[in-house]
Amino acid sequence: MALELKHVTKIYDNGFQAVTDFNLKIKDKEFLILVGPSGCGKSTTLRMIAGLEQITDGEFTINGKRVNELPPKDRGIAMVFQSYALYPHLTVYENMAFGLELAGFDEDVIRQRVDEAAKVLGLTDYLKRKPRNLSGGQRQRVALGRAIIRHADIFLMDEPLSNLDAKQRVSMRSELVRIHRNVGATTIYVTHDQIEAMTMADRIVVMNLGKIQQVGTPKELYFHPANLFVAGFIGDPPMNFISGYLDGDKFISNDKAYKIDVSKLDKELLGKLRDRSLVLAYRPEHIWWKKPEEDIIQLKADVEVTEMLGDIQNVYFVNGAQKGVLKAVPDMEIAIDSKVTYFVKLSDLHFFDASTEAVIE
């Protein structure tokens, strides 16, 4: 199913505007993720798609047909919520079959659909168990199974992994992608976790304050953030930022702690950077501890804290008003309170207009 939201706005009775001029085309069988901080409007958008919230202004279409006024039950949509909402006194089989029984489906059809969904979800051996005898990941799969057996064309998922522990979330991410491919439905998924979004989505919609900030593939958002918000939200840890301006062919930070020679930047880009307030940005992983044989900038900083993560260590630093983080291999000896020198390739620098927050390319 292909969906489209045109100039969709949501204003509540108290005057709060949760979503503003939301425009998006969602492709058939796409796995699309809405991501953003709490209160950014992503769950409200999902509920408008489901028909659980009324659209204040704009139009929502499914396969080209306007469905603003269509009740939820007629939209061909199945929802999976944050809470599993399983009936504790029913078995896994009975929980999955419950909705179809209410809808009056034949018992043989119900059994066939439950068996099919259980096979896809790896629940065949658990159909006689009660929810209390299942792990959190297994309960989440039962909730998914309840949605799958409806044979819906559109799946909506609102923070379905937030109740799982870290290890279960990692395993369920790959499970959900596999299930999506097997079922072949259009899936719209809401999360505040950018790692979930980056690892699972075909495309990501980054939202903030009720507005779309950028739409793109995980790779597009990572390598080409459209503005400061996306640059700071996508990536773990996020980008490092230095506020400043161009003086001749030098980037000067506002606190004068940095004076960076950028004369080897592309001349057209240099021209665009002049006579405006800037933010220079680079990712913690796009740094070199030894000078590479390419055009680079050289930076210095004071180490405050190091954080060992096993495969990598994060090095938290300060330089003037600038705080940030760098990534290093785990066996590199970096002492707290030491001074470090590192390098960033010119090709890995990003520049943003400090006033509009838009990227300068």
In our burial notation (b when 16+ CB lie closer than 10 A, e otherwise), range 268-295 reads eeeeebeeeebbbbbbbebbeeeeeeee
Q: 170 falls in which pLDDT band (50, 70, 90)?
A: confident
Instruction: DSSP letter for 227, please.
Output: B
For residues 67 and 38, state if they share a domain: yes
Query: What's the pLDDT score for residue 180?
Result: 87
Say if CB 100 and CB 113 are below 8 A apart.
yes
Tell me what the mean pLDDT of segment 349-354 comes to. Answer: 97
Tell me what the mean pLDDT of segment 138-162 comes to. Answer: 86
Say if CB 161 and CB 8 are below 8 A apart.
no
**Distance separating alpha carbons of residues 11 and 22, to the nearest angstrom:** 13
pLDDT above 90 for 231: yes
Q: What is the CATH number of the domain that holds 214?
A: 3.40.50.300
**What is the extent of the structural domain holding 55?**
3-232
Q: Which has more confidence, 170 or 253?
A: 253
As given in the structure block, the two tokens for residue 283 are 């990712």
Domain boundary among 216, 232, 248: 232
Q: What is the CATH number of the domain that holds 287?
A: 2.40.50.140
For residues 119 and 140, state if they share a domain: yes
Return the sign of the alpha-carbon dihedral for residues 342, 346, 347, 352.
Answer: positive
As given in the structure block, the two tokens for residue 142 are 């039962």
For residues 216 and 103, state if they share a domain: yes
Say if CB 350 and CB 239 are below 8 A apart.
yes
Instruction: Tell me what the pLDDT averaged over the chain comes to.
Output: 92
Q: 351 falls in which pLDDT band (50, 70, 90)?
A: very high
User: Worst-scoring range by mean pLDDT, 127-141, 166-180, 336-350?
Assistant: 166-180
Q: 43 falls in which pLDDT band (50, 70, 90)?
A: very high
Q: 27 falls in which pLDDT band (50, 70, 90)?
A: very high
Say if CB 292 and CB 275 are below 8 A apart.
no
Say if CB 110 and CB 101 are below 8 A apart.
yes
Query: What's the pLDDT score for residue 328?
Result: 96
For residues 63 and 107, state if they share a domain: yes
User: Which H helix or E strand runs over 117?
Assistant: helix 107-121
For residues 37 and 178, state if they share a domain: yes
Query: What's the pLDDT score for residue 81?
Result: 79
Domain boundary among 232, 256, 275: 232
Q: Which amino acid is at 134?
A: L
Say if CB 290 and CB 339 are below 8 A apart.
no
Residue 226 CB coordination number (10 Å): 20
Tell me what the mean pLDDT of segment 118-128 comes to. Answer: 89
Tell me what the mean pLDDT of segment 74-90 comes to. Answer: 85
Q: Which amino acid is at 123?
A: L
Say if CB 118 and CB 136 are below 8 A apart.
no
Tell me what the mean pLDDT of segment 24-40 comes to. Answer: 95
**Distance separating alpha carbons of residues 329 and 333, to the nearest angstrom:** 9
DSSP one-letter string for 155-172? EEEESTTTTS-HHHHHHH
For residues 127 and 51, state if they share a domain: yes
φ, ψ for residue 277, nearest 5 deg: -75, 135
Domain boundary among 215, 232, 249: 232
E strand segments, 209-271: 211-216, 240-247, 250-253, 259-261
For residues 173 and 270, state if they share a domain: no
What pLDDT, in 10s, does the model give residues 277-291?
999 999 999 999 999
Tell me what the mean pLDDT of segment 216-225 comes to. Answer: 96
Number of domains in the chain: 2
What pLDDT, in 10s, does the model give residues 291-304?
998 899 999 999 99
Query: What's the pLDDT score for residue 191?
Result: 94
pLDDT above 80 for 235: yes
For residues 165 and 248, state if they share a domain: no
For residues 266 and 208, state if they share a domain: no
Tell me what the mean pLDDT of segment 110-134 comes to. Answer: 90
Residue 52 CB coordination number (10 Å): 14
Say if CB 165 and CB 136 are below 8 A apart.
yes
pLDDT above 90 for 130: yes
Q: Which has more confidence, 325 or 144?
A: 325
Say if CB 227 and CB 213 are below 8 A apart.
yes
For residues 156 and 42, state if they share a domain: yes
Residue 165: CA count within 13 A, CB half-sphere: 3
For residues 139 and 281, state if they share a domain: no
φ, ψ for residue 238, nearest 5 deg: -75, 175
φ, ψ for residue 137, nearest 5 deg: -65, -40
For residues 92 and 187, state if they share a domain: yes
Tell me what the mean pLDDT of segment 159-175 comes to. Answer: 82
**Distance separating alpha carbons of residues 293 and 296, to the nearest angstrom:** 8
